[in-house]
Structure 1
Amino acid sequence: MTFDVAKFRFLTAAQVIRLHRSIIMNAQPTQPSMLESAVQSPININYYTTQQNMFQLAAKLSEKIMKNHAFQDGNKRTALLAAYMFLRINGYKLQSAPLQSNTVNGSLANAQVAVCTNAWTAEQLGQFYQQTSTAIERPCYAATTRACHTATAEFTDLGPDDTLVTKDISIGVSDPGEAYVLIPTEVGYALPVGNCLTSSSSALPKPPGRLRLMYYHDTQHFALDSSPVCPRLVIPQQLPRQSTAKTSPATLYPYGEMHTIALDGTPDAEFAHLASTVEQEIGDALDQLKDM
C-alpha cells in the first residue's frame, strides 16, 4: 500500500476540540497545550522521519491524545474520533466489517485501551487500524484552524399561548470567516417543529435526518426557508456570504452531544458531513469506551 505523502491532511487542535464538543461532551480542553502537542506529533513525525504510513500517523495521534490527557474526561473516545477523522479526510474508513457487526467496534475499543495501558505500542495500534480500514473516495476537503468559542444566541419559538417567546442559549461559534455553529440538541430537535421553550427535550421528536435551513445575513439568523420568523436562531456574529444574495442555504446535522449547523458548500459543511458518519460506523466503540 502506497500513500501520497506530500498530500497528507492533518487535523488541527481546533478541529479535535470541535469533535470533542459536538460528539463527546460540550467542554473545552483543560490543558490546551497538551492537545496542541498531540496534534503536532504526527506532523513532526511525517516531516522529520521517513514514516510514510498513514495508519501509523493516525495511531501516533491517537496515542498522544490519550496519554496527554488534554480533556477532563473522554480522552480515549476523543483519540479514537481523531484517528477516525484523520483517516476519513485522507481517504480511508476505520471500519471494514459490516455495520451491523459489533466485532470490529469491540476490537477498536480494546485496542485503544491496550495502548492507553501500555499493553500495546502505537505501532501495533497502527497495524490494527490498517487491518480494519477500507479505502473510500477522498473528500474535497480544506482544513480549518480557528478556535471554537462559547457565545450566547437567541432562540425564538411559540409559547403555550401561541405568542413568540425568546430565550438565551449557549452555542459554540468560531472566529470570523468560518461557517458553522454548534447548538444544544433540544434546539436542533425543535427547529423543525418549534415548541422547544415549552417542551422537555425528551418529548421533542428527533429529526429524521439532516434538515435544510436558511441563514439570513441581514438579521444573522437561521430558520426554515418555509418559516423564516419562527422558530429562528439568532447568532451573535456574521457568517461569510456564499454569494451576493442576502441568504445562504445551510444544513442542520443532528448528531452527537451538540448539533451542528453549517453553510452549504463550505469546508465546515464537509467536516460536519464526515463527522456525522461517526455514530453509524464507530458509535458502538465510543459507547464501550465510556466504561473502559
Structure 2
Amino acid sequence: MGNVLCIGSVLWDVIGRSASVMRQGSDVPGRITQIPGGVALNIAMTLVRFGMKPALLSAVGRDVLGDVLIAECEGMGLDCTWLYRSEDLPTDRYMAIEGANGLIAAIADAHSLEAADDKILRPLKDGRLGSAEAPYAGLIALDGNLTETLLSKISRDPAFAAADLRVAPASPGKAERLQPFVTRPGAVLYVNREEAGILCQSDFADAPGAAAALVARGAKRAVVTDGGNACADASAEGLVSERPPEVLVTRVTGAGDTFMAAHMAAEAAGQDREAALSRALTAAARYVSGETPHD
C-alpha cells in the first residue's frame, strides 16, 4: 500500500493545443495528445515526482484503453491494486481544447466513475485498507468528479473519520458538490477563487479574502488559488499568502492538481505552511510553463 490514497477520476486526457487565440468556431492548427489524466491521477503522478507512493481508488474499464492506462500508471510507480475494474463500463475520457488565450472548452466523460459509485471505496470499508471500526488514518486526496450523493456519503462516512482528507473540486461547475466538506472536521479544501465564491455564495476580490471566508463558514482549512494573483492558505491559526512566479503559460489543464499534490508532498515532508505554499506555487508555475512534463 502507498503512503497516500488518491480517490477519484483516473482516465485518458485528450488535449488539443494551439498557439493561436481561439474563439467559438475556430479551426486552427495545433497538437493533439492523449495522456493519462483525471484529477486523482494527475495528483498521484505529481506525488510520485516528489518521492511519495500513491495508491489509486477509482473505476477503470476492462477494455483496451483501461489495460493500457493501468500499464502506464504502474510504469510510473503508481499502486493500482485497489482499482475497481468493471466488465461493462468503458474507461473514462476527458477532452479539452486550449488556445493561446487559455482553456476554450472541455468535456469530461466520467460516466463510468459515476456509475461505479461506492464500489471504488470497498477497500476502505472491507478491512483491506480500513473499515468503519478501524478507519484508514493516512493521507487521502479526494477529487470532486464523484457524484454529489457519493461525496455527501463520504463526508459522513466513519471509514474516513481518521484520515487527513484533502479535497479538490473538478471544476467550478462541480464546486457545490463539496459543500458537505466545508464544515467536516479534518478536511482541507483546495479551491480557486471562483469555486470559493460558489461555496460561500459570494464574490471575492482576492484569494486571501476567499480563504478567510471559507474558514469563517466552518472550514478547518482552505487553500485558495487565483491564477497569477496571490494565493492564500487560511486556518484558525491564521493566514499566509504568496504570489506565484511569473511565467509564460503554455498549458492550463492539470495545473491545479499539480499545485495540490506539491503542497501535500511538501507538508508530508514536514515543511511549514509558508514553505509548502511556496513549493506548490513553484511546482504549478513550472507545470504551466511546460518545464515539467505531464507524464
The reply to whether TM is greater than 0.5 is no
Query: Which protein shows a greater Rg?
Result: 1
TM-score, normalised by the number of residues in structure 1: 0.28
Higher RCO (CA-CA < 8 Å; seq separation 6+): 1
**If the length of structure 2 is used for normalisation, what is the TM-score?**
0.28
